[in-house]
Amino acid sequence: MFEGVKKFLPILTLMCCASTYAQDSLVASRPVFMSGELKQVSDSISYDNNQYLYKRKPNKSRIYLAAAGSVAWYTGSLVALSNAWYTNYPQSSFHFFNDNIDWLQVDKAGHIFSAYTAGKWSMELWRWPGLSRKQRIWIGGLSGTAFLTVVEVLDGFSSGWGFSIGDLGADFAGSSLFIAQELAWKEQRVQVKFSFHRKTYSDPALNQRADDLFGHRTLERMLKDYNGQTYWLSANLKSFFKRSNFPPWLNIAVGYGADGMFGGTENIVKDKNGLVVFNRSDVPRYRQWYLAPDIDLTKIKTKSKFLRSAFFLLNSLKFPAPSIGFSKKGIEWNWLHF
């Protein structure tokens, strides 16, 4: 039930890398003249004072530092996860576990988000040593799936869980979405984003169950409470309609979430002897879809390196805005959706 913590680990370990986003130019390409023709200079190509083009060679020292830093962070995170999580639960031989119907697949959306975001941030890390664009795409883009696959293997040896093919598929989907857009469009026209709102209930029994299941503190709830999580596909309008008058920062987002979940598959909990200790089958479990405007913070121009880094990090979160919700309960209007 605490898979939310594990799926967000690759993002937490890559936050230190985001500052490299501001150290290089945010302009993907700029024109220069050579031999009477307008040439395009990509972020992996430089030019001298005479405007002759030449390839920028990767900095080997930075490559070693970036690789060592990545390995250290990933290894440290896995060791911490193993000590804090897996050692507290009984182990078993390696086995598979089908959790595809759990949590109305909100946890799978979380895996897509984590793999996508980790790939996006990791790619910026590899910009710093000067790797070619395609190298950055593939190495960075697959890093989230690589890390989460190791976590799935650890799950495979835990008697309470198992290796989830569904989780692995969601991880690949997140990485593939990032890589495909970079290869096809050289930009992320559709980004995966996350938002959270803390749920409270008028029924004290439900609040107590939520505290027991998801934790008391807001950070715990944000990672564990699938009822309060929304995952978004946020599309930049200007990127799709180049000749339009849409502001460069304006996005339209489609969100997915669910509510009424107080257990993985049902709202009934039994103890080790099979006795029912919690039964709220009267609470409906249902999916929710949303439509809302959004902002692409990376499209906001600024000369501040700090703001560029901050915008890059914060852009993985859905900007709070009004939304229209659709579910089996009908259509709802939210004045401010977190």
137 against 85, higher pLDDT: 137
CA distances from 44 to 51, 142, 169, 182 (A): 15, 20, 32, 14
**DSSP code per residue over 65-126:** HHHHHHHHHHHHHHHHHHHHTGGGS-B-S--B---TTGGGGHHHHHHHHHHHHHHHHHHHHT
Task: Supply the pTM of this predicted model.
Answer: 0.85
* Residue burial 263-291, b: 16+ Cβ < 10 Å; e: rest: beeebebeeeeeeeebebeebebeebebe
Distance, in Å, from the CA atom of 187 to the CA atom of 208, rounded to the nearest integer, reads 45
Q: Enumerate residues 6+ apart whose C-beta is below 8 A from 274.
A: none
Helix, strand, coil percent content, the chain, rounded in steps of 5:
45, 25, 30
Domain segments of the chain as ranges: 1-187, 189-338
Average pLDDT over residues 175-191: 96
Quick: pLDDT tens for 26-42.
333 334 434 444 444 44
Q: Look at residue 243 and tell me whether its pLDDT is greater than 90.
A: yes
329 is written with which tokens? 């309960």
Q: H or E element: which one contains 203?
A: none
- Give residue 193's pLDDT: 98
- Give residue 332's pLDDT: 95
pLDDT band at 120 (very low <50, low <70, confident <90, very high): very high
Q: Enumerate residues 6+ apart whose C-beta is below 8 A from 205.
A: 280
Average pLDDT over residues 129-141: 91
Q: Look at residue 236 and tell me whether its pLDDT is greater than 70.
A: yes
Average pLDDT over residues 175-193: 97
Quick: pLDDT tens for 293-318.
999 999 999 999 999 999 999 999 99
Distance, in Å, from the CA atom of 229 to the CA atom of 79, rounded to the nearest integer, reads 27
3-state secondary structure of 177: helix
**DSSP code per residue over 21-72:** HHHS-S-SEEEEEETTEEEEEETTEEE-TT--EEEPPP-HHHHHHHHHHHHH
Average pLDDT over residues 194-208: 94
Q: Which of 41-50, 78-87, 266-275 has the highest mean pLDDT?
A: 266-275
- Give residue 221's pLDDT: 92
Distance, in Å, from the CA atom of 107 to the CA atom of 124, rounded to the nearest integer, reads 26
Average pLDDT over residues 261-275: 91
Residue whose C-alpha is closest to residue 10's, from 114, 149, 165: 114
